[in-house]
Amino acid sequence: MAFRLKLVPDETRFDFFRHQVLTFGFSVFLVVASVVLVLVQGLNFGIDFKGGTTIRTESTAALDVGAYRDALAPLNLGDVSITEVFDPTFAADQHVAMIRIQAQEGDEAITPEQMTAIEGALVGADAAVKIVSTESVGPKVSGELIWTAIWSVLAATVAILFYIWLRFEWQFSVGAVAALIHDIVVTVGIFSLFQIKFDLTIIAALLTILGYSINDTVVVFDRLRENLVKYKTMPLREVMNISVNETLSRTVMTSGTTLLALIALLVLGGDVIRGFVFAMTWGVVVGTYSSVFVAKNIVLFLGVDRNKEKKDPAAEFFTEKVSDADN
């Protein structure tokens, strides 16, 4: 007999709505607290949103990111990000790095004197290094990036709103979008609370969280729709509980295996992707929570018209054609 790992029994009877006032109230508190944190404390924007200078370097010696960072630290340049660039077209002894330095106070780009100091510091860490190119991003472009990021998240949310509306009912759509807004706002609030660097990679993480969270919500909504037909006289709250319990094993396994990979990346992935992975890890946790305790509570509050029989457009079209033919 094959061994099967079960994190959750096949049949569970948890009452997920027993403390719905507390769970939903806690979610509302988190959203309000996150908004207040962002308004009062702000976000620790990275170079992508603050502007700065990007320096591309090449060296024949193996790249040591830590040595580069230590060499630049005494220059007090502010936020400095160093990443190694990999490309299959590079030669065996071609080691490329991208050094991003935040905009200096009073200047959009670093001054020639600072560039000379940077080059000298890098040569001190790696005698074979040379600066290949430099590019500067001003505050105006950075401001445009912020608005572009905001519109991208809003556009994804609106698209999901219409998708759920067409696939289910408008009550399901409102619940799903409320859960998504909850996930995004609370994630941004965590970044504001701990002042973790917020850059374009975090925007990518937020968009990924939207997709992950709605996937979990749709799975439960699908089961709920099936059970609404199966248990026509059962109260909506009980049908919801059954639906969540029936999909609980799938939810725990999916979230658990995803978290295993994310935690490994969070611990071993290094500084370059740590912000992105942290956002994803937090997003998986809060997204799973909101699928049950936010989306379902909204649907329960709004109610569902269970007496409404949906008509099949294809069947109606066929019936009309047959009727016309008879006439």
Looking at residue 21, what is its pLDDT? 85
What is the mean pLDDT of the segment spanning 99-115? 75
> Does domain 52-137 correspond to CATH entry 3.40.50.1220?
no
Looking at 1.20.1640.10, 1.25.40.80, 1.10.10.10, 3.40.50.720, the CATH number of the domain 20-42+142-302 comes to 1.20.1640.10
- Per-residue confidence (pLDDT) for residue 138, from 0 to 100: 63
The residue with tokens 């007999």 is: 1
pLDDT digit string, tens, across residues 65-106: 888 888 888 888 877 888 888 777 788 888 888 888 877 766
pTM above 0.95, yes or no: no
- Is the pLDDT at 222 greater than 70? The verdict is yes
- Tell me how crowded residue 171 is: count the other CB atoms within 10 A of its CB: 18
The pLDDT of residue 313 is 44
What residue spans define the domains of the chain? 20-42+142-302, 52-137
Distance CA 40, CA 36 (A): 6
Q: Which pLDDT score is estimated for 318?
A: 44
Q: How far apart are CA 115 and CA 129, in angstroms?
A: 14
Give residue-wise pLDDT tens across range 244-300: 888 888 888 888 888 999 999 888 877 778 888 999 999 899 988 888 888 888 888
